Chain A
């Protein structure tokens, strides 16, 4: 989706959606819905991070690894007495620095090799968390991570934490949208679509991809830390390979273009396992079937349905203009 074509109608839709999200605690039947919405906000940040990396044409299978790094960094620092509001950002920054160093080396690797190295990285982080038990608490993880407090207001309960998570997610969403509209975002999209041509237009595509990987992984680190302060707990199991896969699934089901795809993917797939819980043993089968159907019938993601409709209008408009010109 080309973000520059946003129409006034979409601004209204965005305002309504944000309004409903803000009001959620007032009409949610019980706290579980607020919990689900909070998890959704954290997932959205992680999927947006992944989407930024994918925007520049790379697939990160180590996304969970960066979230885990962020979670541990923030947990350890805040348990030493640092304010969690600060350690959240340090966590994001640490993940970003690691990604920049790693990206500089491994983004020279193309396609499948990058996928494998990123995957290996996330496995190494899990193993380190398990082995360095004197610092990380090993398999037991870290219990009693301090809650976030803003201006003396401690975000301990779900209804208090949710607005903060929502604010973080919306800020990430806004920044991602701005990034996609910026020259850098345009270069990222160009690199993904035709790297050789982009390089021949005078753009250092390697640098563009490293920057995208750094931003995306930094967001993952921040989100991992946020989740750690929400659950007040982190262990090597918090972000395994399966979490990385599930963010990728959300991205693919929702759609890889624009910022709407990740939102749709998170909205559909975060509550889905909970909704399917009543079907007892069938939930994995139904989840899998839905994924297969999605990939078969909307391979570009659910958000592409909107785009298809827009592109039909665009082609109709252009051909009408050409016909009109040729007739006169």
Chain B
């Protein structure tokens, strides 16, 4: 079953077309890598799918429902979560509070529930501790997020997104700026999340080793256009892809 269907999606900023007629599908259980040179429109595509930006044209279907142009908070409640490029956490809140806040949007029945009872907090923290276990952050639970190392903050960012119990998790450059050990650690966490929770994932990433190690399918974007779609091995040997990354001479040589 296809989980996410992107159909002739377009997004322009004034005269600049950042994403041009992009179509692809994500099936349940996929780990899709979205790669491309700098400025190819990967993050814009991400923002349009997750509802941060509205599409200029085209549709995004999630679980057979049209979600194009829907605000981000609604797509999350339907099961599509995302992370951000920079470390996006609540710096002044404790680690456990960070993840507990991530659970609220999808687990509460109404805004006024839990005004007198504390059950909601116990439930939220219990759920959050499970997520922290998965990410190896339980020992850091009582520290403030800003007291964590950069690598741990990045992991916490993914943990917050996972706390909303998504069916599809979209990761925007999860290992950018991490050292090789931290990158490997995050990759193993993602693999664990995938196997334990059965979450379908889409990842924008420059770090090719991570992409090759994790993804079963890769789509390549260049100048806002989709130029390749296939297995990692297919894609790296595709002349169009090599040209996009290294220039035309590299292909001829």
Binding site for B on A (CB under 8 A): 2, 4, 178-179, 181-184, 186-187, 189-190, 193-194, 196-205, 208, 211, 311, 314-315, 317-318, 321-322, 325
Contacts and interface: CB of A to CB of B under 8 A. Distances in A.
Contacts of B76: 200-202
A303 to B, nearest CB: 15
Interface string B153-182: 000000011011000000000000000000
B42 interface: no
B120 A194 contact: no
B104 interface: yes
Contact of B90 (A190, A211, A315): A190
Nearest to A202: B105
26 contacts: A182-B115, A183-B108, A183-B111, A183-B114, A186-B100, A187-B111, A190-B93, A190-B101, A190-B104, A193-B90, A194-B90, A197-B88, A199-B71, A200-B50, A200-B73, A200-B82, A200-B84, A201-B81, A201-B102, A201-B104, A202-B73, A202-B74, A202-B105, A202-B106, A203-B105, A315-B147
B73 A203 contact: yes
B97 interface: yes
A203 B163 CA distance: 13
B209 interface: no
B112 A194 contact: no
Contacts of B84: 196-197, 200
Nearest to B101: A190
Contacts of A203: 73, 104-105
B121 interface: yes
A197 B93 CA distance: 13
A193 to B, nearest CB: 5
A187 B118 CA distance: 15
B130 interface: no
Given A203-B73, A205-B73, A198 B115 contact: no
A198 B94 CA distance: 15
A317 B106 CA distance: 32
Contacts of B16: none
A204 B223 CA distance: 33
Interface residue tally on B, bucketed by range: 35 or more
B176 to A, nearest CB: 17
Interface of B: 50, 52, 71-74, 76-77, 81-82, 84, 88-94, 97, 100-102, 104-106, 108, 111-116, 118, 120-121, 139, 142-144, 147, 160-161, 163-164
Nearest to B77: A202
Contacts of B163: 201
A199 B147 contact: no
Given A178-B116, A203-B73, A187 B104 contact: yes
Given A196-B52, A200-B76, 16 more contacts: A2-B97, A4-B118, A187-B101, A193-B92, A193-B93, A197-B84, A197-B89, A199-B71, A201-B160, A202-B74, A202-B105, A204-B74, A205-B73, A211-B111, A322-B139, A325-B139
Contacts of B144: 311
A4 B114 CA distance: 13
Contacts of B116: 178
Contacts of A183: 104, 108, 111, 113-114, 120
Given A200-B82, A315-B143, A186 B104 contact: yes
Given A179-B115, A202-B76, A202-B164, A194 B88 contact: yes
A314 B115 contact: no
A189 B100 CA distance: 13
Contacts of B77: 202
Interface centre among B92, B111, B113, B163 (most CB of A within 10 A): B111
